[in-house]
A and B are shown apart, each in its own frame.
Chain A
Amino acid sequence: MSLIAFFGGIETGLIYALVALGVLISFRILDFPDLTADGSFPLGAVVFAVCVMAGVNPWLACVFAALAGALAGMVTAWLHVSLKILPLLASILVMVALYSVNLRITGGTPNLPLIGAPSVFSPFVAADYSNQFWVQPLIIAGFVVLAKVILDWFFNTKSGLAMRATGVNARMAKAQGVATSKMILLGMAISNALIALGGALFAQTTGSADLASGIGTIVIGLAAVIIGENLLGSKRILWITLSAILGALVYRLLIAFALGNDFLQGLGVRPTDLNLITAVLVVIALRLPVIKRSLRRKQSS
């Protein structure tokens, strides 16, 4: 793997680290299987693109993208807590609806080019793009570190603890006076805000806001979370968030390696096989603890 490909893997990995943190909140902390991600990721991208093209400062455009994601997450949560629709179905409904919403935002085209448009990277990238390969990952890393620090802090506050309790044991949380519905609304908003922010950054690194970029977001996020859990596996928030970030990095580096590997390409593996490979990876990662256990049992018997 070349150095450029390595940094490319790190860059995408860091973007998906934001997605992984979002998925961590919905799937793990709130125990809310949320597929909104596939819609909120491109939502972040298109909201960013439209804002920047309207002359909004790219940093502010990122904030708007995150807010749009938060709103999408809240709609999913509302469908569940107020209308009592199953979490999985509620999120699928919002995901499908977002496809149309995203097309509305772009004005009907599935792809908005951002070449030449200002980005959060542009002030720091040299005119000849010579430093782009490390400047971009560095700035994205800043976003990731900031998100991690804020989440670590939040989940150790009284409200954050109440949110964690909501996911683990909602009945007990209610008995302790936690408004669990509000916690789900807030948690889903934070989750999808992070995912949409990831989408906005992704659009800036690829130079276009593409509706197709959302396909498989949830699976990638889940892959990152599960890989991270297999790598670290801890119950402390500090480590849980770190494992999601590491999981995303490891996953993207594996993908970058696989896509640049001559042997695999000789076998006929193509970049478009990415989602298939990811799905298979998730299945393996999900089964890993069971396989480990049965291996241990065989050894001991």
Chain B
Amino acid sequence: MMHADNLKVTFNAGTPIENPAMRGMSLHIKDGEFVTVIGSNGAGKSTFLNAISGDLMVDSGTIKINGEDVTRLPAHKRAHLVARVFQDPLAGTCEALSIEENMALAYSRGSKRGLGFALNKENRELFREKLSILKLGLENRLTDRIGLLSGGQRQAVSLLMASLQPSKILLLDEHTAALDPKTAAFVLELTDQIVSENQLTAMMVTHSMRQALDHGQRTVMLHQGKVVLDVSGEQRAGMDVPDLLNLFEQTRGEKVSDDALLLG
């Protein structure tokens, strides 16, 4: 369960390049819900995600995850609640470390890291087992540097890493945007699989309306730092991209002008 209420953030406040990225963003996500988030460039998608993860401190508003007020907590103190996959495959993993070391890092997410060995027989076995789900042969390359993997492979491993420890919300930040269409489809399928198997509460930011409607159970659209559309259930089930656009035009009285949204 994630409650974001009336979040506001303004970048460069009081300067000529002042940019109100969030102007009262509110969203409640129930346990086990998979929400997709769309919006054009500058709608506040990334800002919203960064606010939930703690990479960014909001100017006002409150964020509660699992009932815990995390509004003022830095990212590392929210890590026991929040799992994350970044847009850039390079950002979510440690290039110079091996696959197993990266997984070991994620395996301790949110728990105290003492002086016990990061890797041992049991967790290596677990990592091997998890990696074999990917069918990429990575289970035999545990000691390879993760920097040797392709972007798609790294995103797939990032997803696994995010699911190694329980989380109250999984944040997916356009995590297929940097991949070719075929790899993106593979990673998306894997996302659905991992989210449903672990019954995760997830929030996926995407640039593509198609993706937003095809995945998850609920879709919200952001515009100028606010949630402007929120569709789920039967209304969403029968929806196609043009319906979503129409709905947007009705509620906002303006046309969607971002090509990327229409083409995606």
- A residues lining the B interface (CB < 8 Å): 154, 156-162, 164-165, 168-169, 171-180, 235
Contact B91 A172 (CB under 8 A): yes
A-B pairs with beta carbons under 8 Å apart, 14 shown: A157-B117, A158-B118, A161-B104, A161-B113, A162-B113, A168-B95, A169-B91, A171-B91, A172-B92, A175-B82, A175-B86, A177-B77, A178-B76, A179-B76
Most buried by A among B53, B75, B91, B92: B75
Q: Name the A residues within 8 Å of B94 (CB-CB).
A: 164-165, 168-169, 172-173
Contact A158 B93 (CB under 8 A): no
The complex places the Cα of A14 from the Cα of B104 at a distance, in Å, of: 34
A177 with B145: in contact, given A157-B114, A160-B118 (CB under 8 Å)? no
- Number of residue pairs across A and B with beta carbons under 8 Å? 96
Closest Cβ of chain A: how far from B74's Cβ, in Å? 8
* Chain A residue nearest to B162 in the complex (CB): A175
Contact A168 B79 (CB under 8 A): no
Partner of A161, one of B105, B110, B145: B105
Q: Name the A residues within 8 Å of B118 (CB-CB).
A: 156-158, 160-161
Closest Cβ of chain B: how far from A170's Cβ, in Å? 10
Contact B92 A161 (CB under 8 A): no
Closest Cβ of chain B: how far from A179's Cβ, in Å? 5
Tell whether B260 is near chain A: CB-to-CB under 8 Å. Answer: no
- B residues lining the A interface (CB < 8 Å): 53-55, 74-77, 79-80, 82, 84, 86, 91-98, 101, 104-106, 108-111, 113-119, 145
* Chain A residue nearest to B115 in the complex (CB): A157
A178 with B113: in contact, given A158-B104, A165-B94 (CB under 8 Å)? yes
Q: Name the A residues within 8 Å of B117 (CB-CB).
A: 156-158
Closest Cβ of chain B: how far from A25's Cβ, in Å? 14
Closest Cβ of chain A: how far from B1's Cβ, in Å? 20
Q: Name the B residues within 8 Å of A180 (CB-CB).
A: 76
Contact B93 A172 (CB under 8 A): yes
The complex places the Cα of A164 from the Cα of B105 at a distance, in Å, of: 10
The complex places the Cα of A193 from the Cα of B104 at a distance, in Å, of: 28
Closest Cβ of chain B: how far from A152's Cβ, in Å? 11
* Chain A residue nearest to B104 in the complex (CB): A161
Contact B75 A175 (CB under 8 A): yes
Which 9 pairs from chain A and chain B are nearest by CB? Answer: A177-B79, A158-B113, A161-B118, A174-B75, A168-B94, A177-B110, A174-B76, A176-B109, A157-B115
The complex places the Cα of A171 from the Cα of B54 at a distance, in Å, of: 11
Looking at chain B's contact residues, the main secondary structure is loop
* Chain B residue nearest to A178 in the complex (CB): B76
The complex places the Cα of A162 from the Cα of B76 at a distance, in Å, of: 12
Contact A177 B101 (CB under 8 A): no
20 additional contacts (CB under 8 A) given A161-B118, A165-B97, A169-B93: A156-B117, A157-B117, A158-B117, A161-B97, A161-B105, A164-B96, A165-B94, A168-B94, A168-B95, A172-B92, A172-B105, A173-B76, A173-B94, A174-B55, A174-B74, A175-B84, A176-B109, A178-B76, A178-B105, A178-B113
Closest Cβ of chain A: how far from B47's Cβ, in Å? 16
The complex places the Cα of A235 from the Cα of B79 at a distance, in Å, of: 27
Contact B113 A159 (CB under 8 A): yes
Closest Cβ of chain B: how far from A144's Cβ, in Å? 22
Q: Name the A residues within 8 Å of B111 (CB-CB).
A: 177
The complex places the Cα of A160 from the Cα of B54 at a distance, in Å, of: 24
Q: Name the B residues within 8 Å of A172 (CB-CB).
A: 86, 91-94, 105
Closest Cβ of chain B: how far from A136's Cβ, in Å? 32
The complex places the Cα of A169 from the Cα of B101 at a distance, in Å, of: 13
The complex places the Cα of A159 from the Cα of B110 at a distance, in Å, of: 13
Contact A177 B93 (CB under 8 A): no
Contact A168 B105 (CB under 8 A): no
Q: Name the B residues within 8 Å of A164 (CB-CB).
A: 94, 96-97, 101
Q: Name the B residues within 8 Å of A176 (CB-CB).
A: 76, 79, 105-106, 108-109
Q: Name the A residues within 8 Å of B84 (CB-CB).
A: 175
Contact B114 A159 (CB under 8 A): yes
Contact A168 B119 (CB under 8 A): no
The complex places the Cα of A179 from the Cα of B110 at a distance, in Å, of: 10
Closest Cβ of chain A: how far from B174's Cβ, in Å? 16
Partner of B96, one of A157, A173, A235: A235
Most buried by B among A158, A168, A173, A179: A158
Closest Cβ of chain A: how far from B46's Cβ, in Å? 13
Contact B108 A177 (CB under 8 A): yes
The complex places the Cα of A157 from the Cα of B95 at a distance, in Å, of: 19
Closest Cβ of chain A: how far from B191's Cβ, in Å? 17
Contact B75 A158 (CB under 8 A): no
Q: Name the A residues within 8 Å of B109 (CB-CB).
A: 175-177
Contact B97 A157 (CB under 8 A): no
Contact B95 A235 (CB under 8 A): no
Partner of B97, one of A159, A168, A177, A178: A168
Q: Name the B residues within 8 Å of A169 (CB-CB).
A: 91, 93-95
The complex places the Cα of A224 from the Cα of B79 at a distance, in Å, of: 38
Closest Cβ of chain A: how far from B139's Cβ, in Å? 20
